[in-house]
Structure 1
Amino acid sequence: MSVAPDGDGRIRCTWADFTGSRSDAPDSVMYRDYHDYEWGRRLRGTRELFERMSLEAFQSGLSWLIILRKRENFRRAFKRFDVAKVARFTERDVERLMADTGIVRNRAKVDATIANARAVADLLDEGVDLSELLWSFAPPPRPRPADSAAVPAITPESTAMARELKRRGFKFVGPTTAYALMQATGMVDDHLTSCWVPVEA
């Protein structure tokens, strides 16, 4: 995750730059925009965090670009990640999802998304806000990493988050996926020091 200049002259984290690809190619633009305007930005809200949690689980073992390409299909297939609606999915919905070529057709991940919707619904029934629960594991602000060697794959906080989520019935939320969720939603800021994206106040 070193940094490299892109076609517009800005310096970005290298994962957002398609080496050898035109900077205006659709995949390049999609990745760059995700890096510039979403990744690492603070995100709250039950639906929003449930969506990100679900997409991070589907991404496990795959390229994030695959998920970005299919994101609108995921939103359609999972009812815009409306927790109440997904929690009511039946075996018939699972069959529909497994036949949907627009998403990643992995039975374990589909089942996990439905189970996680039910776990979120249980939280709400207990008066627990998903945002507050997830953000309770965010570490204190720290300096941005200088290079990729300073970016961890897991942390004590992501391990604790994964443990608590599993205790509450969540699936596909190991420490690595939990840390990726923390990075994506601004609970930690892992943009490099040389990256143009401004630090959120």
Structure 2
Amino acid sequence: MTNQEANNIVWHEAAITKKERQKKNEHRSAILWFTGLSGAGKSTLANALEQELFKRGLSSYILDGDNVRHGLNKGLGFSDDDRKENIRRIGEVAKLFVDAGSIVCTAFISPFKEDRNNVRALVEEDEFIEIYVKASLETCESRDPKGLYKKARSGEISEFTGISSPYEEPDHPELTIDSDSLSVEQSVEKITLYLADRGII
């Protein structure tokens, strides 16, 4: 985009505010950012949590890493630059859900701290909840639900997080879910209690 083009783009304020949408939904909005290694249980946990939120009548949605790469981020690879762009786009979409008054659950490996912090900076301080779904590499490899670790070990997949590409653990996540020891049900309970304590639900 040229400077001239950028100068012709003006932000248009919406007639209905985020707070008005939250009031209608009877809960606050937030990004629940599930991060962790492939196979840690991010998608499983995000889906189980959304089922609980749905049962409670709350407005929520899931953005899942693989699903988004079928559409919005189709064409992006797994180089460091493509990973960064993948997360940048997801962050902007997640911000739209927050503006719409919804709770959005995002399940992405998102291996780099800088990228996660950039998304955090898009919304208000208490609207980004980093949930580190923690599991040992050995556990993730033993689960290997998509057979990706096996392919990475055999050299079929390059730049695979945890094997040939780094994963940077969160320094101070709002929540850590140890999926080695906690069941899905226990994990959902831990998250919903946190959301209630924070006054989000």
TM-score bracket, normalised by the shorter chain, equals under 0.3
In terms of fraction of residues, the more strand-rich structure is: 2
Q: TM-score under structure 2 normalisation?
A: 0.27
